[in-house]
Amino acid sequence: MWCCCVAVFSSWRLIIDSCFIASLFFIFLVSPFFIGYYKSPRLNNFGCESLANPRTRCLTEITGVAFRLTAADREFLSDLSKVQMIDRDCANRWHYAHLKGGCESSLSRLVKAGVLTEKKLHAHGVLTHFYQFSSHEMARAWGGKLPVTGARRSDLHELVASRLYFELNRPADFRLENRFSREDQFQCGSYRPDAMFTDAQGDVVFVEANSGQYTRTQISEKMDRWSALGVKQVWGQPKQTQLAFPLNSAMVTSLTV
């Protein structure tokens, strides 16, 4: 009887050990796949890598139209992935200054190819032409997003944030609020800025666009809260307006764009 029990126990021990070894072997086989998946670039539904510089072949699969991209086009689209919309003035100055006719012909070509959508904004007596990605798929292919505008965030507000990116000389880690990491959100506290970046001194800078939605009291509350955190700030507003605006100081820079 004792021998039978020992034999049964040994059999179960052998089965358990075998299962454990098989599990380790399975993990060894599949772990490179998962590690490679999380480290590799994400693919959208069309098999395009979500990078700042995707291959043209992947983009034509999204649009269904064959086209070519110049170096200036790619630089424009890379910046667009960061700020979600860019107006003609910024495109002319930063991407297509080398062209005699400016950006209009190049961007019209990208609109016809299905890469971009052109929109118009009438604000403060000024007509502005601006561009955004044509679809979520196209935006993801460049590692970007489409802007979400409405009651809380107008096109003018988003354009002011975009212009501030260029006015600040295109900081490498500039990111809009919808791209904040958990660490960014924790640093902001209850008042989140429209964007943030790291300056040449290694300090984090909060960026806030004011298109007319803030009162002087609201501006003061935000400015004082961020100043108490010891964070530098850049505030921007459209050139054509005379809005409530914080005064320049050691921690605060005010710009019209």
> Domain ranges in the chain?
41-147, 153-257
Q: What is the CATH number of domain 41-147?
A: 1.10.10
- Rounded to whole angstroms, how far apart are CA atoms 141 and 33? 23
pLDDT of residue 182: 95
pLDDT at 208 over 80: yes
> Which are the contacts of 174, defined by CB distance < 8 A and separation ≥ 6?
82, 83, 165, 168, 195, 196, 197, 207
153-257 in CATH: which number?
Answer: 3.40.1350
Average pLDDT over residues 38-43: 42
**What is residue 49's predicted lDDT score, i.e. its pLDDT?**
46
pLDDT at residue 16 is higher than 50: yes
**What average pLDDT does the segment 109-114 reach?**
97
- Model confidence at 242, pLDDT cuts 50, 70, 90, reads low
Residue 252: half-sphere exposure toward Cβ, Cα within 13 Å? 19
Answer whether residue 61 shows pLDDT above 80: yes
- Give the DSSP letter of residue 43: B
Contact between residue 209 and residue 196 where contact means Cβ atoms under 8 Å apart: no
Q: State whether the Cα torsion 106-107-112-113 is positive or negative.
A: positive
Q: What is the mean pLDDT of residues 136-157?
A: 90
Assess whether the region 41-147 and the region 153-257 belong to the same CATH fold: no
Question: Averaged over 120-142, what is the pLDDT?
Answer: 94
Kindly tell me if the per-residue pLDDT of 223 is higher than 50. Answer: yes
Residue 233 near residue 252 (C-beta atoms within 8 A) = yes
Residue 59: both structure tokens together: 């983009």
pTM of the predicted structure, to 2 decimals = 0.79
pLDDT higher for 26 or 178? 178
Tell whether the model's pLDDT for residue 185 goes beyond 60: yes
**pLDDT of 78 strictly over 70:** yes
